[in-house]
Structure formats: C-alpha cells, structure tokens
C-alpha cells in the first residue's frame, strides 16, 4: 500500500512537469494585480517603520563616509 502511494505521487510529480509557458489571461492578470496591490498596501506601514528606524543609521554612515573622502581630498590638495 505504501509503495502504491509513492508511485502515484511520483507519477503525478513527473507528469506535471512541462516546458511550455502559458501566457496569463486578462482575468489572471487582474487577479495578480489586485493581489499584489493588497499585499503592497498591507506591507507599506511595516516598510515605512523599518525605513524610519534604519534611516538615521544609514544616513550618518553615508555622511561620515563622504566627509572622510572629502577630508582626504583636502589633505592631498594641501600637501
């Protein structure tokens, strides 16, 4: 019984493989677009809070990096 189930599962697995691509229809595109919009709206507040919390760290690191490069350029000009 166990082997029959394994062979059925393997048969379904190998028969479901295909190389042809199926272009999306108009109704599936609408479904994909609406699902994407719903998920984007749901995640927007999370992404905004993550950006707000990480912004200062990244901004400060970028400013420090730019200032270090500019200082090196000024040291080269002075020498």
- Confidence bin at 67 (pLDDT 50/70/90): very high
SS3 18: coil
Distance CA 57, CA 22 (A): 45
Q: Does the pLDDT at position 22 exceed 80? A: no
Provide the pLDDT confidence category of residue 69 given band limits of 50, 70 and 90.
Answer: very high
pTM of the predicted model as reported, rounded to 2 decimal places: 0.41
Q: Which pair of tokens denotes residue 11? A: 């048969």
Q: What is the pLDDT of residue 65?
A: 94
Percent of the chain clearing pLDDT 70 (strictly above): 97
Rg (CA), the chain: 28
Average pLDDT over residues 25-50: 91
């Amino acid at each position: 019984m166990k082997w029959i189930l394994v062979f059925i599962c393997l048969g379904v697995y190998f028969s479901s493989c295909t190389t042809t691509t199926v272009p999306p229809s108009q109704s599936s595109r609408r479904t994909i677009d609406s699902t994407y919009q719903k998920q984007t709206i749901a995640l927007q507040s999370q992404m905004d809070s993550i950006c707000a919390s990480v912004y200062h760290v990244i901004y400060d690191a970028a400013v420090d990096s730019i200032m270090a490069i500019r200082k090196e350029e000024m040291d080269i000009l002075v020498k």
